[in-house]
Amino acid sequence: MVIKRRKIAKRDQPVDDTPTEAEKREIYKTKMKIKTSVSGGEFRGRNIYMPAHIRPTQNVTRKAIFDLLGHDLTGLTFLELFAGSGAIGIEALSRGAEKVTFVEKDEKCLDVIRQNLGLLNLEFNSKNGWSYEIVEGDALFTSKEFSRKNCKFDIVFIDPPYGMDLGKKSLKTLNAYDILHPTSTLVIQHEVDEILPEKLGRFCIFKHKIYGKTAVDIFNVGPYVGDVDA
């Protein structure tokens, strides 16, 4: 007697639809960024991106900041602390800054900074007249490191996360650690609810502007008077 064996259909195996690391990067690139554009200078109108998880400096505020600073930064060095997307530093490069240093610790933001610089075909060399440096690290700790290395900048721009009183803390740190010339300019963008002192150590406000929920303070810089605990 021949015994016929029934074929048992295999059950559908569960499909693992978890994105691979490469797919995750592509999803981030396409869905987790907000498009904006450079507001002035050589790259005016060129598209750049901002990470969706941060509070970006709005176009009108970026333009207003450079209306206050001036639109020709030829020969000046520019430091952007808490760089985020790097949009402010890119605006400075677009307006002729000799070198821009971006300081940021968030990996997603660092990726966007690199992508934005790539979109503008900027290379890390001086052959094309543009030079930049990306520093991965905490903004205030890096400021102290710059001071120890005797690095100084003509313009320092700070736009820290809101709700943590980091504007005032940044001001105190830069008063204690010397990274500015007596002729340098310090710009701090902060929420309007955080009131910065009109004078602190070597810094004195000479312009104060409000744009919606954002305030921008521009400080004159006096001589450095020595090490002080920050």
Indicate the average pLDDT of the chain.
84
Residue 63 lies in a domain: yes
Q: Is the pLDDT of residue 27 over 50?
A: no
- Counted domains in the chain: 1
Residue 176 lies in a domain: yes
Work out the average pLDDT over 79-106. Answer: 95
Torsion 51-52-54-60 (CA) sign:
positive
CATH number at residue 79: 3.40.50.150
Residue 118 lies in a domain: yes
- Closest among 153, 174, 144 to 79, alpha carbons compared: 153
Residue 7 lies in a domain: no
Q: Is the pLDDT of residue 60 over 50?
A: yes
Tell me the percentage of the chain whose pLDDT exceeds 70.
Answer: 78
Q: Rounded to two decimals, what is the model's pTM?
A: 0.82
Residue 47 lies in a domain: yes
CA–CA dist 126, 131 (Å, integer): 6
pLDDT tens by residue, 178-209? 999 999 999 999 999 999 999 999 999 999 99
Residue 25 lies in a domain: no
Residue 3 lies in a domain: no
Residue type, 6: R
Tell me the percentage of the chain whose pLDDT exceeds 90.
Answer: 63
Reported as a pLDDT band with limits 50, 70 and 90, residue 230 is: very low
| Domain residue limits at 186 | 32-221
Residue 95 lies in a domain: yes
Pairing of strands 33-37, 99-104: unpaired
Nearby residues of 25 by Cβ (< 8 Å), 6 or more positions away: none
pLDDT tens by residue, 110-151? 999 999 999 998 765 445 567 899 999 999 999 999 999 999
CA–CA dist 61, 43 (Å, integer): 17
Q: Which pLDDT does position 122 carry in this prediction?
A: 78
Work out the average pLDDT over 81-95. Answer: 95
